[in-house]
Structure 1
Amino acid sequence: MRSKYLLICTFIILSGFASKTCFADTEQPTLADYKSGEKWVWKYKGVTSAGEVRADGKDTKKIVSQNGDLKMVTLHSTIPLTDIVKPNKSKTPRYSWPLSVGKTWTFEEHWTSEDGTKGSTIQDAEIISFKEETVAAGTFMAYTIKYKGKITNSRGYSADTEDVYLYAPRLKTFIKLTQIQKDYLYVEELIEYSDK
Protein backbone atom coordinates (compact mmCIF):
# COMPACT_ATOMS: atom_id res chain seq x y z
CA MET A 1 0.00 0.00 0.00
CA ARG A 2 2.77 2.41 0.92
CA SER A 3 4.59 1.79 -2.39
CA LYS A 4 1.38 2.60 -4.28
CA TYR A 5 1.08 5.83 -2.31
CA LEU A 6 4.71 6.76 -3.08
CA LEU A 7 4.20 5.97 -6.75
CA ILE A 8 1.10 8.19 -6.91
CA CYS A 9 2.90 11.04 -5.09
CA THR A 10 5.91 10.75 -7.42
CA PHE A 11 3.61 10.84 -10.44
CA ILE A 12 1.82 13.96 -9.14
CA ILE A 13 5.12 15.73 -8.41
CA LEU A 14 6.57 14.86 -11.82
CA SER A 15 3.35 15.89 -13.55
CA GLY A 16 3.47 19.26 -11.83
CA PHE A 17 7.11 19.71 -12.82
CA ALA A 18 6.42 18.71 -16.44
CA SER A 19 3.49 21.09 -16.73
CA LYS A 20 5.58 23.97 -15.39
CA THR A 21 8.50 23.28 -17.72
CA CYS A 22 6.41 22.51 -20.81
CA PHE A 23 3.86 25.29 -20.37
CA ALA A 24 5.93 28.02 -18.77
CA ASP A 25 5.04 31.60 -19.59
CA THR A 26 6.84 33.02 -22.62
CA GLU A 27 8.81 36.22 -22.12
CA GLN A 28 9.47 38.81 -24.84
CA PRO A 29 12.47 37.88 -27.02
CA THR A 30 15.75 39.59 -26.13
CA LEU A 31 18.71 40.62 -28.26
CA ALA A 32 20.50 37.39 -27.27
CA ASP A 33 17.68 35.32 -28.83
CA TYR A 34 18.52 36.50 -32.37
CA LYS A 35 21.49 35.74 -34.59
CA SER A 36 22.85 37.02 -37.87
CA GLY A 37 21.51 35.09 -40.84
CA GLU A 38 18.05 34.34 -39.45
CA LYS A 39 15.39 34.73 -42.14
CA TRP A 40 11.59 34.54 -42.21
CA VAL A 41 9.45 34.50 -45.37
CA TRP A 42 5.66 34.81 -45.31
CA LYS A 43 3.15 34.41 -48.15
CA TYR A 44 0.09 36.63 -47.88
CA LYS A 45 -3.21 36.96 -49.71
CA GLY A 46 -6.28 39.12 -49.13
CA VAL A 47 -9.56 38.39 -50.94
CA THR A 48 -13.06 39.88 -50.71
CA SER A 49 -16.15 37.67 -50.58
CA ALA A 50 -16.75 38.72 -54.22
CA GLY A 51 -13.39 37.20 -55.18
CA GLU A 52 -11.48 40.46 -55.63
CA VAL A 53 -7.80 39.97 -54.71
CA ARG A 54 -6.58 43.06 -52.84
CA ALA A 55 -3.25 41.70 -51.60
CA ASP A 56 -1.03 38.91 -52.90
CA GLY A 57 2.69 38.57 -52.33
CA LYS A 58 5.58 37.69 -50.04
CA ASP A 59 7.15 39.43 -47.06
CA THR A 60 10.73 38.74 -45.95
CA LYS A 61 12.64 39.71 -42.82
CA LYS A 62 16.31 38.93 -42.24
CA ILE A 63 18.80 39.54 -39.43
CA VAL A 64 22.13 41.02 -40.50
CA SER A 65 25.18 42.24 -38.66
CA GLN A 66 26.34 45.77 -39.50
CA ASN A 67 29.44 47.04 -37.70
CA GLY A 68 28.85 44.47 -34.97
CA ASP A 69 25.20 45.48 -34.40
CA LEU A 70 22.31 43.18 -35.30
CA LYS A 71 19.61 44.69 -37.48
CA MET A 72 16.37 43.47 -39.05
CA VAL A 73 16.12 44.13 -42.78
CA THR A 74 12.64 44.38 -44.30
CA LEU A 75 11.49 45.44 -47.77
CA HIS A 76 11.34 49.12 -46.82
CA SER A 77 13.72 49.57 -43.89
CA THR A 78 16.59 48.40 -41.72
CA ILE A 79 15.74 48.47 -38.02
CA PRO A 80 18.23 48.06 -35.16
CA LEU A 81 17.27 44.96 -33.17
CA THR A 82 17.72 46.98 -29.98
CA ASP A 83 14.59 48.92 -31.07
CA ILE A 84 12.61 45.73 -31.76
CA VAL A 85 13.39 44.03 -28.43
CA LYS A 86 12.87 47.19 -26.37
CA PRO A 87 10.14 46.48 -23.77
CA ASN A 88 6.79 47.92 -24.86
CA LYS A 89 5.50 50.25 -22.13
CA SER A 90 2.03 50.49 -23.70
CA LYS A 91 -0.94 49.46 -21.54
CA THR A 92 -2.64 48.19 -24.74
CA PRO A 93 0.09 46.25 -26.65
CA ARG A 94 -0.13 43.79 -29.54
CA TYR A 95 1.50 41.13 -27.31
CA SER A 96 1.11 41.32 -23.53
CA TRP A 97 4.26 39.73 -22.11
CA PRO A 98 4.68 37.20 -20.66
CA LEU A 99 2.37 35.11 -22.85
CA SER A 100 0.33 32.43 -21.08
CA VAL A 101 -2.81 30.48 -21.95
CA GLY A 102 -5.95 32.20 -20.66
CA LYS A 103 -4.42 35.67 -20.48
CA THR A 104 -6.61 38.56 -21.70
CA TRP A 105 -5.93 42.24 -22.44
CA THR A 106 -6.98 45.08 -24.75
CA PHE A 107 -4.94 45.89 -27.85
CA GLU A 108 -5.20 49.46 -29.11
CA GLU A 109 -3.30 51.03 -31.99
CA HIS A 110 -3.62 54.43 -33.64
CA TRP A 111 -2.01 54.68 -37.06
CA THR A 112 -1.59 56.68 -40.24
CA SER A 113 -1.57 54.90 -43.60
CA GLU A 114 0.74 55.80 -46.49
CA ASP A 115 -1.95 58.02 -48.05
CA GLY A 116 -2.35 60.03 -44.81
CA THR A 117 -5.55 58.38 -43.60
CA LYS A 118 -5.66 58.17 -39.80
CA GLY A 119 -7.20 55.16 -38.10
CA SER A 120 -7.64 53.17 -34.92
CA THR A 121 -7.75 49.47 -34.13
CA ILE A 122 -9.18 48.46 -30.74
CA GLN A 123 -9.56 44.76 -29.92
CA ASP A 124 -10.01 42.46 -26.94
CA ALA A 125 -7.27 39.80 -26.98
CA GLU A 126 -7.19 36.32 -25.44
CA ILE A 127 -4.63 33.53 -25.58
CA ILE A 128 -6.65 30.42 -26.40
CA SER A 129 -4.04 27.63 -26.50
CA PHE A 130 -0.41 26.60 -26.75
CA LYS A 131 0.12 23.54 -28.93
CA GLU A 132 1.78 22.22 -32.08
CA GLU A 133 0.69 24.08 -35.19
CA THR A 134 1.66 23.20 -38.77
CA VAL A 135 2.25 25.80 -41.49
CA ALA A 136 4.10 25.64 -44.81
CA ALA A 137 7.44 26.30 -43.04
CA GLY A 138 7.00 23.35 -40.64
CA THR A 139 5.49 22.38 -37.29
CA PHE A 140 6.08 24.56 -34.24
CA MET A 141 4.72 25.00 -30.74
CA ALA A 142 2.60 28.13 -30.95
CA TYR A 143 0.14 30.23 -28.99
CA THR A 144 -3.23 30.89 -30.59
CA ILE A 145 -4.13 34.50 -29.82
CA LYS A 146 -7.58 35.77 -30.81
CA TYR A 147 -8.30 39.49 -31.21
CA LYS A 148 -11.89 40.77 -31.63
CA GLY A 149 -12.94 44.38 -31.97
CA LYS A 150 -13.28 47.27 -34.39
CA ILE A 151 -11.25 49.22 -36.92
CA THR A 152 -12.16 52.80 -37.89
CA ASN A 153 -10.54 55.53 -39.98
CA SER A 154 -10.79 59.23 -40.72
CA ARG A 155 -12.62 58.58 -44.02
CA GLY A 156 -15.66 57.14 -42.23
CA TYR A 157 -14.76 53.47 -42.52
CA SER A 158 -15.80 51.25 -39.61
CA ALA A 159 -15.76 47.45 -39.40
CA ASP A 160 -15.84 44.64 -36.88
CA THR A 161 -12.60 42.66 -36.95
CA GLU A 162 -11.41 39.24 -35.86
CA ASP A 163 -7.72 38.38 -36.05
CA VAL A 164 -6.09 35.09 -35.07
CA TYR A 165 -2.32 35.00 -34.63
CA LEU A 166 -0.29 31.82 -34.20
CA TYR A 167 2.81 33.00 -32.33
CA ALA A 168 5.79 30.58 -32.17
CA PRO A 169 8.21 31.45 -29.34
CA ARG A 170 11.11 29.53 -30.92
CA LEU A 171 10.84 31.69 -34.06
CA LYS A 172 10.13 34.89 -32.10
CA THR A 173 7.23 35.83 -34.37
CA PHE A 174 3.86 34.76 -35.71
CA ILE A 175 3.72 31.83 -38.11
CA LYS A 176 0.19 32.48 -39.31
CA LEU A 177 -2.26 35.38 -39.25
CA THR A 178 -5.91 35.17 -40.27
CA GLN A 179 -7.90 38.44 -40.40
CA ILE A 180 -11.59 38.85 -41.09
CA GLN A 181 -12.88 42.39 -41.68
CA LYS A 182 -16.40 42.80 -43.10
CA ASP A 183 -16.28 40.93 -46.43
CA TYR A 184 -12.47 40.74 -46.53
CA LEU A 185 -10.30 37.73 -45.59
CA TYR A 186 -6.54 38.14 -45.23
CA VAL A 187 -4.19 35.22 -44.53
CA GLU A 188 -0.45 35.44 -43.99
CA GLU A 189 1.54 32.23 -43.44
CA LEU A 190 5.20 31.52 -42.82
CA ILE A 191 6.56 29.51 -45.76
CA GLU A 192 10.27 29.55 -44.89
CA TYR A 193 12.46 29.95 -41.82
CA SER A 194 16.25 29.51 -41.64
CA ASP A 195 18.83 30.43 -39.05
CA LYS A 196 22.03 30.09 -41.09
Structure 2
Amino acid sequence: MKNQSIILFALVMLSACHNNTKSSITQQPTLADYSLGEKWVWKYKGVTSEGEVRSDGTDTRQVVKFGEVLGMTIGKDTIPVTDIVKPETSETPKYDWPLEVGKTWKYENNWTSQDGTTGNQSQDAEVLSYQEETVEAGTFMAYTIKYTGKTTNSRGYSANETEVCLYAPSVKTFIKLTQNQGDFNYVEELIEYSK
Protein backbone atom coordinates (compact mmCIF):
# COMPACT_ATOMS: atom_id res chain seq x y z
CA MET A 1 0.00 0.00 0.00
CA LYS A 2 2.83 2.37 0.91
CA ASN A 3 4.56 1.73 -2.46
CA GLN A 4 1.29 2.37 -4.30
CA SER A 5 0.92 5.72 -2.51
CA ILE A 6 4.48 6.70 -3.44
CA ILE A 7 3.90 5.72 -7.08
CA LEU A 8 0.59 7.60 -7.17
CA PHE A 9 2.25 10.70 -5.66
CA ALA A 10 5.09 10.49 -8.22
CA LEU A 11 2.60 10.21 -11.10
CA VAL A 12 0.63 13.22 -9.82
CA MET A 13 3.84 15.28 -9.55
CA LEU A 14 5.00 14.27 -13.04
CA SER A 15 1.59 15.11 -14.42
CA ALA A 16 1.68 18.53 -12.74
CA CYS A 17 5.14 19.24 -14.19
CA HIS A 18 3.98 18.09 -17.61
CA ASN A 19 0.93 20.36 -17.51
CA ASN A 20 3.02 23.37 -16.43
CA THR A 21 5.22 22.88 -19.48
CA LYS A 22 2.20 22.90 -21.78
CA SER A 23 0.77 26.07 -20.24
CA SER A 24 4.05 27.95 -20.05
CA ILE A 25 4.23 31.74 -20.09
CA THR A 26 7.35 33.27 -21.64
CA GLN A 27 8.64 36.80 -21.11
CA GLN A 28 10.71 38.71 -23.65
CA PRO A 29 14.43 37.83 -23.49
CA THR A 30 16.71 40.22 -21.59
CA LEU A 31 20.35 41.21 -22.05
CA ALA A 32 21.36 38.66 -19.38
CA ASP A 33 19.92 35.85 -21.53
CA TYR A 34 22.56 36.38 -24.28
CA SER A 35 26.18 35.23 -24.10
CA LEU A 36 29.33 36.06 -26.05
CA GLY A 37 29.83 33.61 -28.94
CA GLU A 38 26.21 32.47 -29.08
CA LYS A 39 25.41 31.62 -32.70
CA TRP A 40 22.36 30.81 -34.85
CA VAL A 41 22.36 29.57 -38.45
CA TRP A 42 19.19 29.23 -40.55
CA LYS A 43 18.69 27.87 -44.05
CA TYR A 44 16.00 29.50 -46.16
CA LYS A 45 14.30 28.89 -49.48
CA GLY A 46 11.53 30.74 -51.30
CA VAL A 47 9.80 29.17 -54.30
CA THR A 48 6.88 30.29 -56.47
CA SER A 49 4.01 27.92 -57.24
CA GLU A 50 5.58 27.54 -60.73
CA GLY A 51 8.84 26.30 -59.18
CA GLU A 52 10.91 29.48 -59.64
CA VAL A 53 13.44 29.75 -56.77
CA ARG A 54 13.55 33.38 -55.64
CA SER A 55 15.70 32.94 -52.56
CA ASP A 56 17.96 30.14 -51.35
CA GLY A 57 20.75 30.38 -48.81
CA THR A 58 21.76 30.65 -45.17
CA ASP A 59 21.56 33.40 -42.56
CA THR A 60 23.94 33.55 -39.60
CA ARG A 61 23.72 35.64 -36.45
CA GLN A 62 26.29 35.69 -33.67
CA VAL A 63 26.81 37.52 -30.40
CA VAL A 64 30.16 39.37 -30.50
CA LYS A 65 32.02 42.01 -28.54
CA PHE A 66 30.88 45.40 -29.89
CA GLY A 67 32.98 48.12 -28.31
CA GLU A 68 32.27 47.80 -24.59
CA VAL A 69 28.97 45.93 -25.01
CA LEU A 70 27.58 42.77 -26.61
CA GLY A 71 26.49 43.09 -30.22
CA MET A 72 24.78 40.80 -32.69
CA THR A 73 25.94 40.35 -36.25
CA ILE A 74 23.04 40.52 -38.69
CA GLY A 75 24.27 40.28 -42.26
CA LYS A 76 27.02 42.87 -42.63
CA ASP A 77 25.72 44.92 -39.69
CA THR A 78 26.35 44.61 -35.96
CA ILE A 79 23.81 46.05 -33.56
CA PRO A 80 23.94 46.25 -29.76
CA VAL A 81 22.03 43.44 -28.05
CA THR A 82 20.46 46.15 -25.86
CA ASP A 83 18.58 47.31 -29.00
CA ILE A 84 17.28 43.77 -29.61
CA VAL A 85 15.94 43.36 -26.06
CA LYS A 86 14.30 46.79 -25.80
CA PRO A 87 10.67 46.36 -24.72
CA GLU A 88 8.29 46.51 -27.70
CA THR A 89 6.37 49.80 -27.70
CA SER A 90 4.24 49.06 -30.75
CA GLU A 91 0.52 48.47 -30.25
CA THR A 92 0.78 45.89 -33.07
CA PRO A 93 4.02 43.93 -32.34
CA LYS A 94 5.44 40.81 -33.99
CA TYR A 95 5.52 39.12 -30.55
CA ASP A 96 3.09 40.31 -27.88
CA TRP A 97 4.92 39.51 -24.63
CA PRO A 98 4.41 37.50 -22.55
CA LEU A 99 3.70 34.59 -24.89
CA GLU A 100 1.17 31.98 -23.80
CA VAL A 101 -1.10 29.49 -25.54
CA GLY A 102 -4.40 31.03 -26.62
CA LYS A 103 -3.16 34.63 -26.75
CA THR A 104 -4.23 36.71 -29.77
CA TRP A 105 -3.20 40.14 -31.09
CA LYS A 106 -2.89 42.26 -34.23
CA TYR A 107 0.51 42.55 -35.97
CA GLU A 108 1.23 45.36 -38.41
CA ASN A 109 4.51 46.22 -40.10
CA ASN A 110 5.37 49.02 -42.53
CA TRP A 111 8.61 48.56 -44.42
CA THR A 112 10.84 49.91 -47.18
CA SER A 113 12.98 47.54 -49.28
CA GLN A 114 16.47 48.30 -50.58
CA ASP A 115 15.05 49.37 -53.96
CA GLY A 116 12.72 51.93 -52.32
CA THR A 117 9.52 49.89 -52.53
CA THR A 118 7.29 50.48 -49.52
CA GLY A 119 4.92 47.89 -48.12
CA ASN A 120 2.59 46.90 -45.32
CA GLN A 121 1.73 43.70 -43.49
CA SER A 122 -1.46 43.46 -41.45
CA GLN A 123 -2.04 40.15 -39.69
CA ASP A 124 -4.03 38.53 -36.90
CA ALA A 125 -1.76 36.48 -34.62
CA GLU A 126 -2.62 33.58 -32.34
CA VAL A 127 -0.47 31.30 -30.15
CA LEU A 128 -1.77 27.82 -30.98
CA SER A 129 0.43 25.52 -28.88
CA TYR A 130 3.56 25.05 -26.79
CA GLN A 131 5.20 21.68 -27.37
CA GLU A 132 8.37 19.91 -28.51
CA GLU A 133 9.27 20.73 -32.11
CA THR A 134 12.14 19.19 -34.09
CA VAL A 135 14.18 21.04 -36.69
CA GLU A 136 17.60 20.34 -38.18
CA ALA A 137 19.32 22.05 -35.21
CA GLY A 138 17.58 19.78 -32.68
CA THR A 139 14.42 19.43 -30.60
CA PHE A 140 13.14 22.44 -28.65
CA MET A 141 10.06 23.42 -26.69
CA ALA A 142 8.41 25.98 -28.96
CA TYR A 143 5.30 28.08 -29.35
CA THR A 144 3.42 27.73 -32.62
CA ILE A 145 2.26 31.22 -33.60
CA LYS A 146 -0.01 31.59 -36.63
CA TYR A 147 -0.28 34.91 -38.47
CA THR A 148 -2.98 35.43 -41.10
CA GLY A 149 -3.62 38.58 -43.09
CA LYS A 150 -2.52 40.58 -46.11
CA THR A 151 0.69 42.04 -47.57
CA THR A 152 0.64 44.97 -49.99
CA ASN A 153 3.32 47.16 -51.55
CA SER A 154 3.69 50.41 -53.49
CA ARG A 155 4.13 48.55 -56.81
CA GLY A 156 0.54 47.27 -56.71
CA TYR A 157 1.28 43.89 -55.15
CA SER A 158 -1.39 42.51 -52.82
CA ALA A 159 -1.61 38.97 -51.42
CA ASN A 160 -3.27 37.08 -48.63
CA GLU A 161 -0.65 35.65 -46.33
CA THR A 162 -0.39 32.84 -43.79
CA GLU A 163 2.72 32.54 -41.67
CA VAL A 164 3.49 29.91 -39.02
CA CYS A 165 6.34 30.70 -36.67
CA LEU A 166 7.84 28.23 -34.19
CA TYR A 167 9.36 30.37 -31.40
CA ALA A 168 11.69 28.56 -28.97
CA PRO A 169 12.35 30.43 -25.69
CA SER A 170 15.59 28.49 -25.04
CA VAL A 171 17.19 29.98 -28.18
CA LYS A 172 15.35 33.33 -27.89
CA THR A 173 14.10 33.30 -31.48
CA PHE A 174 12.22 31.30 -34.07
CA ILE A 175 13.42 27.84 -35.07
CA LYS A 176 11.18 27.56 -38.13
CA LEU A 177 9.15 29.96 -40.22
CA THR A 178 6.75 28.88 -42.97
CA GLN A 179 5.14 31.59 -45.09
CA ASN A 180 2.57 31.30 -47.89
CA GLN A 181 2.01 34.59 -49.71
CA GLY A 182 -0.09 34.38 -52.85
CA ASP A 183 1.91 32.16 -55.21
CA PHE A 184 5.10 32.33 -53.11
CA ASN A 185 6.12 29.80 -50.43
CA TYR A 186 9.01 30.53 -48.06
CA VAL A 187 10.57 28.29 -45.39
CA GLU A 188 13.35 29.20 -42.97
CA GLU A 189 14.68 26.63 -40.48
CA LEU A 190 17.34 26.72 -37.77
CA ILE A 191 20.10 24.31 -38.73
CA GLU A 192 22.69 25.18 -36.06
CA TYR A 193 22.65 26.70 -32.59
CA SER A 194 25.60 26.97 -30.24
CA LYS A 195 26.24 28.81 -27.00
Same fold by TM-score, threshold 0.5 exceeded?
yes
Give the secondary structure class of the aligned counterpart of 1:83: helix
Q: Which runs of 5+ in 2 are unaligned?
A: none
Which residue is equivalent to 1:123? 123
Which residue is equivalent to 2:113? 113
Q: Which runs of 5+ in 1 are unaligned?
A: none
Q: Which amino acid counterpart does residue 53 of structure 1 have in structure 2?
A: V
How far apart are residue 20 of structure 1 and its match? 3.6
Q: Runs in 1 of length 4+ with deviation above 6 angstroms?
A: 7-14
Q: Which amino acid counterpart does residue 180 of structure 1 have in structure 2?
A: N
CA distance in 1, matches of 2:35, 2:9: 43
Identity of aligned residues (%): 62
Give the secondary structure class of the aligned counterpart of 2:99: coil
Q: Which amino acid counterpart does residue 178 of structure 2 have in structure 1?
A: T
CA contact (8 A) 2:127 2:143 kept: yes
Q: Which amino acid counterpart does residue 82 of structure 1 have in structure 2?
A: T
**CA 1:50 to 1:18, structure 2 compared with 1: closer, same or farther past 3 Å?**
closer
How far apart are residue 19 of structure 1 and its match? 3.0
Which residue is equivalent to 1:47? 47
How far apart are residue 170 of structure 1 and its match? 0.1
How far apart are residue 84 of structure 1 and its match? 0.4
Which residue is equivalent to 2:153? 153
Instruction: Output the TM-score relative to the length of structure 2.
Output: 0.91
Which residue is equivalent to 1:143? 143
How far apart are residue 186 of structure 1 and its match? 0.3
Q: Which amino acid counterpart does residue 36 of structure 1 have in structure 2?
A: L
**In the TM superposition, what whole-angstrom CA distance separates every residue of 1:72-129 from its partner, at most 9, and x where no partner exists?**
0121210000000000011100000000000000000011111111110000000000
**In the TM superposition, what whole-angstrom CA distance separates every residue of 1:11-56 from its partner, at most 9, and x where no partner exists?**
7787556534663300000000000000000000000111100000
CA distance in 1, matches of 2:191, 2:14: 37
Which residue is equivalent to 2:33? 33
**CA 1:10 to 1:64, structure 2 compared with 1: closer, same or farther past 3 Å?**
closer
How far apart are residue 8 of structure 1 and its match? 8.3
Which residue is equivalent to 1:68? 68
- Whether 1:178 and 2:192 are equivalent positions in the alignment is no
Instruction: Output the TM-score relative to the length of structure 1.
Output: 0.91
Which residue is equivalent to 1:56? 56
**In the TM superposition, what whole-angstrom CA distance separates every residue of 1:128-186 from its partner, at most 9, and x where no partner exists?**
00000000000000000000000001111100000000000000000000000111100
Q: Which amino acid counterpart does residue 101 of structure 1 have in structure 2?
A: V
CA contact (8 A) 2:22 2:130 kept: no
Which residue is equivalent to 2:164? 164
